[in-house]
Amino acid sequence: MLYILDTADLNAIRHVNEFYPLDGVTTNPSIIAKEKTDFLKLVKEIRNIIGEDKMLHVQTTAKKAEDIVSEAKMLKEILGGEFYIKVPIDEEGLKATKILSEIGIPVTMTAIFTPAQALMAAKAGAAFVAPYVNRLDNITGDGVRVVEEIVCLFDTYGLDCKVLAASFKNSEQVHKSALCGCHSVTVSPEIMTGLIKHPLTDVAVAGFEKDWQGVYGDKKIPDLI
Ligand code: G3P
């Protein structure tokens, strides 16, 4: 399982990158726009924080295949490292994906809502597909079921493409996606940090501290060695 942050909030990226086993960052035009700042400086700073070895997915704003390819080349040149261009699925996006996969720029095909879209994206050469779990749940669909079917299709046909499930609103959606073999998830900082929280953990840790202090006071292990 790869854990990816779906944000361009630099402080949140710094925090999660320091404390969690982070595998990368995804952005899209809405996420970038939310920061209301210089686009290039922002994506460069994200790369700077996470380093060259972690994945950075940046979405194209172009509509025509040739323009998508050209944007992808520019961004890859500037951002280097493990770079992925995010491309929404449509005919031009598929055409761009075929070209980009041939020249070695990996594509994350995004705005995926059906297993049929995902299969087509994988066939075109996408490295990842990003199904939107919560947006499906919001229209009384079953986002996790869609993730599960995509995982199953990729296994059945031996496709190299991986599922990068996106659009989560709670930990349970992430957990259920993991259970069905989803290869990676991209989540908000709140969901990432929420994944390790449990009130019984807090109670357990408080108990350890109380019992220790009852005998050793404020002394720590190094003080007793
Ligand atoms: O990566 C796609 C994701 O950002 C969409 O999430 O929360 O806008 O449905 P959301």
CA distance linking residue 133 with residue 163, whole number of Å: 12
Give the model's pLDDT for residue 198: 97
Give the closest residue (by CA) to ligand 1 atom 9: 167
Q: In angstroms, what is the span from residue 166 Cα to ligand 1's centroid?
A: 6
The pTM (predicted TM-score) of the whole model is 0.96
pLDDT digits 0-9 by tens, 70-101: 999 999 999 999 999 999 999 999 999 999 99
Read off the pLDDT of residues 22-54 as tens digits, 9 standing for 90 and up: 999 999 999 999 999 999 999 999 999 999 999
Six-digit token string for 222: 């190094």
Dmax (CA) of the chain: 71
Contact criterion met (CB below 8 Å) for 121 and 129: yes
pLDDT of residue 4: 98
Q: How far apart are CA 85 and CA 76, in angstroms?
A: 8
- Average pLDDT for 53-78: 98
* % of residues, the chain, pLDDT over 70: 100
pLDDT of 99-116, one tens digit each?
999 999 999 999 999 999
* Mean pLDDT of the 188-192 span: 98
| Site to substitute for ligand 1 among 25, 28, 34, 184, most atoms within 8 A of C-beta | 28
User: Which pLDDT score is estimated for 205?
Assistant: 98
Q: What is the 3-state secondary structure (H, E, C) of the chain?
A: CEEEEECCCHHHHHHHHHHCCCCEEECCHHHHHHCCCCHHHHHHHHHHHHCCCCEEEEECCCCCHHHHHHHHHHHHHHHCCCEEEEEECCHHHHHHHHHHHHCCCCEEEEEECCHHHHHHHHHHCCCEEEEEHHHHHHCCCCHHHHHHHHHHHHHHCCCCCEEEEECCCCHHHHHHHHHCCCCEEEECHHHHHHCCCCHHHHHHHHHHHHHHHHHHCCCCHHHHC
Q: Can you read off the two tokens belonging to residue 168?
A: 């989560």
Q: pLDDT at position 164, please?
A: 98
CA 144 to centroid of ligand 1, rounded, Å: 15
pLDDT value for 204: 98
Ligand 1 mutation pick, 3, 27, 30, max ligand atoms within 8 A of CB:
30
pLDDT on residue 203? 98
The mean per-residue pLDDT over the stretch 123-136 comes to 98
Mean pLDDT of the 187-195 span: 98
Q: Whose CA is nearest to atom 7 of ligand 1?
A: 167
**Which homologous superfamily is 2-198 in?**
Aldolase class I (3.20.20.70)
Q: Which residues line ligand 1 (CB under 6 A)?
A: 6, 26, 28, 31, 130, 132, 134-135, 166-167, 186
CA distances from residue 217 to 10, 89, 203, 210, 214 in whole angstroms, order as listed: 40, 61, 19, 9, 6
> How far apart are the C-alpha atoms of 147 and 141, rounded to whole Å?
12
* pLDDT, tens digit (0-9, with 9 covering 90-100), for 145-168: 999 999 999 999 999 999 999 999
Mind telling me the catalytic residues? Answer: 86
pLDDT at 45 (0 to 100) = 98
d(CA 51, CA 55): 9
Distance 65 CA to ligand 1 centre (A): 23
Where are the domains positioned within the chain?
Answer: 2-198
